[in-house]
Amino acid sequence: MISSQELIDIAEKVKLYEPEALTRLFDLYFEKLRRYMYYKTGSLERAEDLAAETLTKGIESIGSFKDRGGTIGAWLFGIGRNLLAREREAAGKAEMVELEKEFPVEEDEQPERVVLVKLSNEELYQALSRLPDEQREVVLLRFMEGYDARTVGEIMGRKPGAVRALQFRAVQALKDMFEPGGVEA
């Protein structure tokens, strides 16, 4: 787990475009952003592009970033979210996206491992895919990325109370899906 101080240092060095800091920022956030983008877009390829684009936009506008104690990650997620919103607005698409029917697995995985991975991820993936977009986003940011309600609120442009309400509804909905007779993967 990276410390807040380390994140502050990285942000300061990124402001100077120090190559090592740029690389470190990419390594720290590309995968997180890609996963977030995947759950938002349902496309692995698009998720990769959007994650890289978010990081690129981030270093272009790093001068405007004001650190409030290791908050560069939340700031990047905010950029990514805006990027997606603008893209959807341009395409005239609704917020809700359809995820792929099955959770994607590596093609070169061994057959038994593929089944195992599909079993393990499929249930949660299917459950998440059925959540409304904002609830899914809260689950991703709160539980997968580990941000607190206040930070998630900053990323989503919502108040912490609204985030907690979305989180409550999301977790309730997940519970319903896992209930016997509920929507199973």
Partner 1 sequence: MSKNASRRDIRSFERRLRDLPRGESHTDRDAQPELESSLLGMLVSGGPELPAARRMDSLKATYVEHGTSLREQAIGSDAAVARPASVPRVRTRHVLARVAAVATVIVALLVGLGFGSAYAMPGNPLYSVKLAAESAYLSLVPGDQNKADAYASYTSRRLNELKYVEERGMSKWYYSLANDAQGGIEDTYGHGKRLRAGAAQKVTEKAQALTLRMEELLGGALGEMTPAQKASVESGLQRIRLQLRMRKGNPSGPSQQNGQPGNQNGQRNGT
Task: Write down the least CB distance from residue 141 to partner 1, Å.
Answer: 11
| Binds partner 1 (CB under 8 A): choice among 2, 5, 44, 159 | 44
How far apart CA 154 and CA 157 sit, in angstroms, is 5
HEC letters along 107-147: CCCCHHHHHHHHHHHHHHHHHHHCCCHHHHHHHHHHHHCCC
Left if phi > 0, otherwise alpha if psi is -120 to 50, otherwise beta: which for 98? Answer: beta
Number of chain positions touching partner 1 (CB under 8 A): 52
Burial class (CB in 10 A: 0-12, 13-18, 19+), 60: exposed
| Binds partner 1 (CB under 8 A): choice among 2, 4, 5, 23 | 23
| Binds partner 1 (CB under 8 A): choice among 35, 46, 88, 130 | 35
Binding positions for partner 1, rule: CB under 8 A: 12, 15-19, 22-23, 26, 30-31, 34-35, 38, 44, 47-49, 51-52, 55-56, 59-60, 62-63, 103-106, 113, 116-117, 119-121, 123-125, 139, 143-144, 146, 167-168, 171-172, 174-175, 178-180
